[in-house]
Amino acid sequence: MTFWTDNRFVVTGGSGFLGSAVVSSMRARGARDIIVPRSASYDLRDHDAVLRLLNDAKPDVIIHMAAVVGGIGANREHPAEFLYDNLMMGTQLLHEAWRAGVRKFVTIGTVCAYPKFTPVPFHEDEIWNGYPEETNAPYGLAKKMLLVQGQAYRQQYGFDSIYLLPTNLYGPGDNFDPRSSHVIPALIRKFIEAKEHGNSEVVAWGTGVATREFLYVDDAAEGIVLAAERYEKSDPVNLGSAFEISIRDLTNMIREMVGFTGEIVWDATKPDGQPRRKLDTSRAEAEFGFKSSTTFEAGLRRTIDWYVGAR
């Protein structure tokens, strides 16, 4: 446990949805020297800001979670920003972290890096066997380059860089903005508002046949801190729940939990995204002992209850 008490940490994105959960988990393990840079002070797309951050914070370990993220709609509207911003933030920070003598760099990648038609369940060895799903390919490829960079820097310099691939996240504190939210918070908000307004129907994107795997945010945080402490290889590692559900079944489950009695209308003119998404999670369990513990039904109920209270 001296890993947490003896090191100084920078957690980019540490004030966000996942980052807040990671910082809480780190503190529970004894970490006290944690710096969470804010974009107003350190715009990580700017090289000078990256240098200032490293000079000011002098970290031993960096957990890099800062990212420009969003659902299918946001990815389609802003592919250039999703590529450029994520690439610049990550590649400059990793390079300068190595130059500054940082001991360990933990990159949080994305399941969107996988090829569109990856065999199910997705195994880490399949990550290069095809092009990502088109609607989020710029984002997925920008994050994927950090895997290449981390492996190259370990090979040439012995730099301790690891790369984690969390699946779709959900939980209390998620982004419920309809312009940029992912599927679970978007549906929760739609059904709650439709129920309040007495609407007879809710429109859902796509056909509902696509499937997704979801990981509760506190479980994801647990996986990240375990990997930061215990994992010392550059092979990518999936973080998931190994539970797959169709968007149609997910939508019906949320409707029932919210208590909306109207109809669901499927807008097939909107994209489904990747056809299926389910991870092989055996590497995480074998390498650093991570296995998710929150059932999907329990996590979904907590998320709905949190949003109702937060409103």
**Which residues are the active-site residues?**
139
Match 């647990």 to its residue by tokens: 222
User: What are the distances in angstroms from CA 58 to CA 12, 40, 107, 154, 232?
Assistant: 14, 19, 18, 21, 21
Q: Distance (Å, rounded) from C-alpha 37 to C-alpha 42?
A: 6
- Identify residue 81 by its one-letter amino acid code: E
SS3 115: strand
* Amino acid (one-letter) located at 147: L
Taking alpha carbons only, the member of 108, 151, 110, 149 closest to residue 133 is: 110
Which is it for the CA torsion 128, 134, 135, 137, positive or negative?
positive
Q: Residues 6 or more apart from 140 whose CB is under 8 A from it?
A: 110, 112, 113, 114, 132, 133
Quote the distance between the C-alpha of residue 111 and its chain's center: 8
Q: How far apart are CA 172 and CA 247, in angstroms?
A: 20
Structure tokens at 207: 């056909």
Whole-angstrom distance, CA of residue 112 vs CA of residue 138: 9
Please give the backbone phi and psi of residue 207, each rounded to the nearest 5 degrees, phi first: -105, -15
Distance CA 108, CA 114 (A): 14
Q: Is 79 exposed, middle or buried (0-12, 13-18, 19+ CB in 10 A)?
A: middle
